[in-house]
Amino acid sequence: MAVYELKPTKQPPLSERGAIAWIRHNLLSSPFNILFTILSLWILYIIIPPMVKWFVLDANFVGNSKAECTGDGACWIFIREKFKIFIYGFYPESEQWRANLTMGLGALTVALAVIDRVPRSIKIASILMLPVVAIILLSGGYFGLAYIETNQWGGLLLTLVIAAVGIVLSFPIGILFALGRQSKLPIIKTLSVFYIELIRGVPLITVLFMASVVLPLFFPEGMDFDKLIRALIGITLFQAAYVAENIRGGLQAIPRGQYEASEAMGLTYWKRMRLVILPQAIKVAIPNLVGSFISLFKDTSLVMIIGLFDLLSMVTLTTNDRDWLGLSTEGFVFVAIIYWIFNYLMSRYSKNLEKKLDTNNKD
Amino acid sequence: MKKLLKLSTAVAMITTLSMAGTLDDVKKAGTLKCGVNTGLPGFAEADSKGTWRGMDVDFCRAVAAAVLGDAKKVKYVALNAKERFTALQSGEIDILARNTTWTNTRDTTLGLNFAGVNYYDGQGFMVPKSLGVKSAKELDNATLCIQSGTTTEMNLADYFRANGMKFKAITFDTNEQVDNAFFSGRCDILTSDQSSLYASRTKATDPSKYIVLPDVISKEPLGPVVRQGDDQWFNAIKWILNAVITAEEKGISSKNVDDAAKNSTDPEVRRLLGAEGTMGKNIGLDGDAFMKVIKQVGNYGEMFENNIGENTPLKIKRGLNALWDNGGLLYSPPFR
């Protein structure tokens, strides 16, 4: 009896596998795609070589003055020479370890918040402790630390302080306004709506300008109200309105049944909110919240107009150094990279959080 | 906490504070709050260590040296063009040294006083040497690069119309773009305030290929500003400025000031340095206040040369900012 011998499986034809197939399917599958591929390659050809030339091949890395930037490319010497004041601003050199320590503690707090195994009580405690510790460390005046006025804070340090304070403080305020807007008490509701709509109706730059230029006119002459605090209050109140709207979006996404069920259990208003409604609402609002926090991080550069030297304005200031004129492109590229790193990390974290909290209850 | 404490004491002392003079306030605080530019090459800039320097910064230092005896006791408050006057009016700063043009409107309507001029600026032109132009009068039918929405644009149109000449202007939003356009050859001429033309020139691959024409088509006298109604402080600032100019006129510099104070026989020098008379005390300062200024910061010529002069990348010529007996406009009333 003839036995049918199992033949070994043949590989698909060459045109259907490997790199060639991939190119055919993804780049050359239709006349339109062929055209599009050629166009894209042409654009890349125009952009990439000059960029590589400017960034690396023709760039200057060695030396310590502008005169040594003889190549046609970027003058990275400038960034290296100015690196310290980009990061610390006018913070005195002998005290910069305090800034380092603060930023380190900030990173540690973020790390604790990200790691799952850390108990929630430690997470919350560290987030609440951070602002207090940071302010004592940075401004000093206690425990033998020299007092350093806020006008000496600057660079990336200041950007992080403003962004962190804005994000952390605006969150609880925003929640209160969001709940206020949903409230059945007419005065609270009207006030919340009025506040949110007023703030959302004006640009941040206006709020900062009011805080910096108009506010001092109402104070008696000679009274000095710290500029940074004015800016922080302005930014926090501004951000709170946006947080409130994001949270409201989350609150409205919660099915009525959740409200009614929690009421039926006899919980008080605050317990209902804290235990049932808000955890769900905030989860829904995460993408929007992170989006608005990222835009806040970028908006911190607006403090430039009130004469605070955040990362961007510090770079602008140094491009006006008579020994280093004409190097603003390098400076701005550096700023762009730093902003990108921080914003990318924030958006990754939010993705991560969404996945972790996903209970798959999409209806 | 410290701020809060300060705030509450400030509130408690509203009445006394608003009556007291700025001079006493500065002495009591121990630091001078000086308003400067957020970054202008040669006038207010930060070096790689984060130390402020420049012409305007040096004036702040001079005031601190005279009033507090130490040029380092300055708190620099960086201000943009819009908030500078409010900052002074509200008392956020004690003096504004931020390349501010002295105009009639500003002097008479803002409740401020200009205490003098520490740099005579004016709108000028920069051209490539290869163009072979010697005077602005030869610029008929030229193409100019300018920044839009500034008084520069207005002055330019006025000047060309008054001289019956035509021009083509290419406008840009930022200073950076204007400079790039000029150096890449999109226009023949760059126009702006002269001090900023010199700063732009250092951005060229070969700065020696460009010249700033001697013509000035607008008057921009820049000087320190104080609040109106505080004559004691106004006098102090005015005479600190005069002192650095007189010191240059008399050849007193940071290097020879000690020697001059002991050995000079010129009566005006002796009065200036406090060896005789009460020039310092008359304006509420120490007898040797001006001497401290010259020792710690230098005379006007030194300020100029250290920050914007021939030995700096800016290479600005003295021009209008030379002493009156040298063809310039700097002239101090006598110390007697």
Asked if B6's CB is within 8 angstroms of A224's CB, the reply is yes
Asked if A321's CB is within 8 angstroms of B48's CB, the reply is yes
Pick the CATH number of B2-120+221-326 from 3.40.190.10, 3.30.1330.10, 3.90.1150.10, 3.40.710.10: 3.40.190.10
- Count of domains forming chain A: 1
Selection from A200, A160, A196 nearest residue A179 by Cα? A196
Percent with pLDDT over 90 in chain A: 33
Nearest to A317 among B45, B179, B308 (CB): B45
Determine contact: A325 vs chain B, CB below 8 A. yes
In a domain, A46, yes or no: no
From CA B181, how far away is CA B324, in angstroms rounded?
38
pLDDT tens figures, B221-263: 999 999 999 999 999 999 999 999 999 999 999 999 999 988 9
Evaluate if residue B18 carries a pLDDT over 50.
no
Evaluate if residue A14 carries a pLDDT over 90.
no
3-state secondary structure of B311: coil
Asked if A223's CB is within 8 angstroms of B14's CB, the reply is yes
Lowest mean pLDDT, pick from A32-36, A90-94, B26-30, B43-47: A90-94
**Bridge-based pairing state of the strands B95-96 and B32-37:** parallel
Residues of B in contact with A226 (CB under 8 A): 3
pLDDT tens figures, B35-64: 999 888 899 999 888 899 999 999 999 999
Evaluate if residue A351 carries a pLDDT over 60.
yes
pTM score of the predicted model: 0.83
Residue of A80, A95, A325, A328 best to disrupt the B interface, most CBs of B under 10 A: A325
Determine contact: A68 vs chain B, CB below 8 A. no
In a domain, A315, yes or no: yes
Query: In which order are the strands placed within the sheet that holds B210-212?
Result: B167-172, B142-147, B189-193, B123-128, B210-212
Residue B96's pLDDT band (boundaries 50, 70, 90)?
very high
Asked if A89's CB is within 8 angstroms of B48's CB, the reply is no
In a domain, A10, yes or no: no
Residue A46's pLDDT band (boundaries 50, 70, 90)?
very high
Selection from A11, A171, A160 nearest residue A100 by Cα? A160
From CA B100, how far away is CA B81, in angstroms rounded?
9
User: A2 to each of A6, A7, A9, A178, how far by Cα in Å?
Assistant: 12, 15, 21, 80
**Bridge-based pairing state of the strands B32-37 and B74-79:** parallel
Nearest to A212 among B6, B42, B83 (CB): B83
Average pLDDT of the residues in A101-119: 87
Residues of B in contact with A214 (CB under 8 A): 86
pLDDT tens figures, B266-325: 999 999 999 888 888 989 999 899 999 999 999 999 999 999 999 998 989 898 899 999
In a domain, A245, yes or no: yes
The backbone region for B242, taken as left when phi is positive above 0, alpha when psi lies in -120 to 50, beta otherwise, is: alpha
Q: How far apart are the first and last CA of chain A?
A: 61
User: A104 to each of A115, A126, A132, A349, how far by Cα in Å?
Assistant: 17, 13, 15, 18
Evaluate if residue B16 carries a pLDDT over 80.
no
Domain positions in chain B: 2-120+221-326, 123-218
Evaluate if residue B6 carries a pLDDT over 60.
no
Percent with pLDDT over 70 in chain A: 97
Helices (H), B139-230: 151-162, 175-183, 194-201
Evaluate if residue A143 carries a pLDDT over 90.
no
Residue of A nearest to B14 (CA): A220
Q: Where are the beta strands (DSSP E) in B116-266?
A: 119-121, 123-128, 142-147, 167-172, 189-193, 210-212, 220-222, 225-227
Residue A150 has a pLDDT of: 82
Residue of B nearest to A208 (CA): B83
Asked if B7's CB is within 8 angstroms of A306's CB, the reply is no
Question: What ipTM describes this predicted complex?
Answer: 0.80
Return the structure tokens found at B325: 């007996």
Residue of B nearest to A305 (CA): B80
- Greatest alpha-carbon pair distance for chain B in Å reads 67
Asked if A139's CB is within 8 angstroms of B91's CB, the reply is no
Asked if B50's CB is within 8 angstroms of A84's CB, the reply is yes
Asked if A313's CB is within 8 angstroms of B41's CB, the reply is no
Nearest to A317 among B38, B203, B313 (CB): B38
From CA B294, how far away is CA B292, in angstroms rounded?
6
* Pair A320, B39: CB distance under 8 Å: yes
**Domain B123-218 is classified in which CATH homologous superfamily?**
Periplasmic binding protein-like II (3.40.190.10)
3-state secondary structure of B323: strand
Residue B12's pLDDT band (boundaries 50, 70, 90)?
very low
From CA B276, how far away is CA B336, in angstroms rounded?
11
CATH number for the domain including A228? 1.10.3720.10
**What single letter denotes the amino acid at residue B275?**
A
Average pLDDT of the residues in A276-288: 89
Residue A93 has a pLDDT of: 84
In a domain, A59, yes or no: no
User: Which residues, 6 or more positions from A225, have their beta carbon under 8 angstroms from its beta carbon?
Assistant: A215, A216, A219, B7
Domain limits for position A352: 83-91+148-357
Selection from A91, A115, A116 nearest residue A103 by Cα? A91
Residue A222 has a pLDDT of: 55
Residue of A66, A214, A322, A323 best to disrupt the B interface, most CBs of B under 10 A: A322
Residue B84 has a pLDDT of: 87
Determine contact: A80 vs chain B, CB below 8 A. no
pLDDT tens figures, B125-166: 999 998 888 888 888 888 998 877 677 888 888 899 999 998
**What single letter denotes the amino acid at residue B133?**
V
3-state secondary structure of B284: coil
In a domain, A171, yes or no: yes
In a domain, A317, yes or no: yes
**Bridge-based pairing state of the strands B123-128 and B210-212:** antiparallel
Phi/psi for B42 (5° steps) reads: 85, -15
Residue of B nearest to A141 (CA): B2
**What single letter denotes the amino acid at residue A111?**
A
Determine contact: A143 vs chain B, CB below 8 A. no
Residue A361's pLDDT band (boundaries 50, 70, 90)?
low
